[in-house]
Amino acid sequence: MSVGFDTSPCRPQDLGKFEIKERDGVARIGRLFTNHGILETPMLLPVVNPNIRTIEPREMWDDFGVQALITNSYVIWKHEKLRTPALEHGVHKLLDFPGIIITDSGTFQSYVYGDIDVGVKEIVAFQRDIGVDIGTMLDVFGRPDQSIEELREAVSKTIERAPLSLDEAGPNLLLNGPIQGGLYDFLRSESAEKMGSVSGKHRGFTVHPIGGIVPIMERHRYLDLAKIIIAVRETIPANRPIHLFGCGHPMLFPMSIALGVDMFDSAAYALFARDGRLLTPDGTVRIENLKEWPFASRILNGISPSEVREMEDIERTDLLARYNLEITQAELAKCREAVRSGKIWALVEQRSHSSPELREAFLFLKDRLIQNNDFSSSEIIRSSSPIRSGSERWTSDSSSRPHLLHAKTLIRERWTPPLKNWRGESMNGANILLIKSGRSPWRDSVKSDIIHALSKNPNQIPIIQTPNGLLPFDLEDWAPLCHIQAFDSVWSSIPSPSDESLRDLGLNSSSISILQSTEEVTDKEVRVQIHEWLEHSQISAKCSVFLGSTRESTANWLEGISVDRSSTGRIRNVFSADGRHILSPRLHDGGISLTNEGAKDLHSFGEGPPRLVLADDAIPFVRDGRNVIHGFIEGVDDNIAPGLPCLIVDSNGDLVAHGVSRCTSNEILKFTKGIAIRTRGGIKIHDSE
């Protein structure tokens, strides 16, 4: 199963760098560059006890697709039979594992057994000398039952040890910088900020494990776990992977990944097996209660629960440990696929019903995201691309999905009513034409009724009522807002819009009329006029919401436009009054694509999409259409977001290209590896004149 994993060392200049390949909000599929290949995240590091190998590391590599594991350097250092061969031949030879090896330093042993007899520099040097890929400094474990003074001291001592540890690591050993702080959010944030800013002779920390959480998880305090992850993410550098130390239950993977965790480790696959417990994505199952397997498994195929119960302890443990590792790997694969398909929060919703404690944590996150009054919630929402092809399966929890909240935020902050009605008259004090009937596509189901209503009263603005809130009709094909799959009872029970929701759109709540089904307008000229006004309003609204242009400037820009259409009559391309192709409405997701001519126009207006300042060395390549790469960026506006257009300029402010961002402004400034902007068009020098 590990066929395809390349264990070759990365390029020296890439060592320790992390890049995002795909994302869904702050959940990300990333690549971490090491001396034994590129680590794909999110992933689990199975804990391997070098003295008790329930599953041999080579079998993990060959049969379970395990690309990396974690073992304890303190245990190897303490036992002569392990220390000597590790120093002579390296830890990879000792464990017979060709992949990436990460080591802990003995901090957890100090929590379990008391003080350990190894020094701060000594344990890092040992990890370096046995050829570890990613080692761990000797931090001070913080327990949830400790006082704030004790936890503050643990954080301070860990930070104090950090520079010494980084210097001792040398140029080839990457190092974990653990984050402590117990249950105190401010201590976690402080620890993350300071550990994230420490530098050694060669580099800073590569990965930041969140430590001290095993006692929290043992007591099922998942709400506290969520709060800790959020606190750490607020101040940790965006380009550093986050490792949840000691977390290995598949039930916790979706929530943790959705909050930005990249790596997990645990011995649960083996420890649970010894007690006859099976890990599942929905919780833990004891084998003594089973008559049949409630799940499919390659490992358990052809064996009944009763046969497993009759096995000798060692044989049963070996079998169940392999099952536990199999199901753990499968759940991580499911999470990665959910990230790729933009469904990670839907999976979080589903898994939240696994236990009351996990549900409590989810409801806390749901409320926090909807309120959106703190940095971490805002970052999760802004990191989520608001334009997505496909549908949205609606549940009672769906309103908190970050990409839907991002869409609502864009509508609230950028959408404004049309300036004029179809007769060319001012729309001041316009009435609301509320659409409660029909289904998507609304342009087919209710457009003739809208035209009839506007022919009677031009001073109306059609607004669609959806389970996700109010959707202006001029954004009616915006996916996934236009593809909400919900029961008829959900649609019919949507309450009347509140005054606040209408004020958010700049609308007057005093006059609302409900769209009624009626006959088509007989006056063809009027019908065509209203139809064209609706189309023009749609283009204008998308320029406002997706490009950040005001209705006023957009109205001037779109004066005298012409269009061409698809075979179904929808607008495919928009041409300026002088015949230049400036825009293309996207039919598959309702977004809008700029052309080079459109980008030049918006750049000359001095408004529209946010701007990114490109380093001089990269300008010729980006002008030729190459993507913008992290590390070649000198500055950025603070409102760049994944999935939305931006303009790429040089240090003088001259237009170089335009594209679609893959990350937030904060990430653009932090990452040094990977694609930041997908370039859609480079502006040649002669084109910009």
Residue 611 near residue 649 (C-beta atoms within 8 A): yes
- Residue corresponding to tokens 């089973």: 290
Structure tokens that stand for 661 in this block: 């961002």
Where do the DSSP E strands lie in 287-371?
none
Q: Cβ atoms within 10 A of the Cβ of 426, count? A: 10
Catalytic positions, written as ranges: 104
- Residue corresponding to tokens 């776990």: 225
Residue 33 near residue 14 (C-beta atoms within 8 A): yes
Question: DSSP readout, 625-686?
Answer: TPPEETTSEEEE-TT--TTSEEEEE-TTS-EEEEEEESS-HHHHHH--SSEEEEEEEE--HH
| Residues ≥6 apart with Cβ < 8 Å to 212 | 141, 142, 143, 144, 180, 181, 182, 245
Order across the sheet with 581-585: list the strands: 562-565, 571-575, 581-585, 592-594
Continuous segment of H or E residues that includes residue 32: strand 27-34
Residue count of the chain, please give it.
689
- Bridge pairing between strands 484-485 and 392-393: parallel
CA 412 to chain centre: 23
Q: Cβ atoms within 10 A of the Cβ of 301, count? A: 8
Burial level of 510, CB count in 10 A (0-12/13-18/19+)?
Answer: exposed
Give the whole-angstrom CA distance, residue 529 versus residue 452. Answer: 12
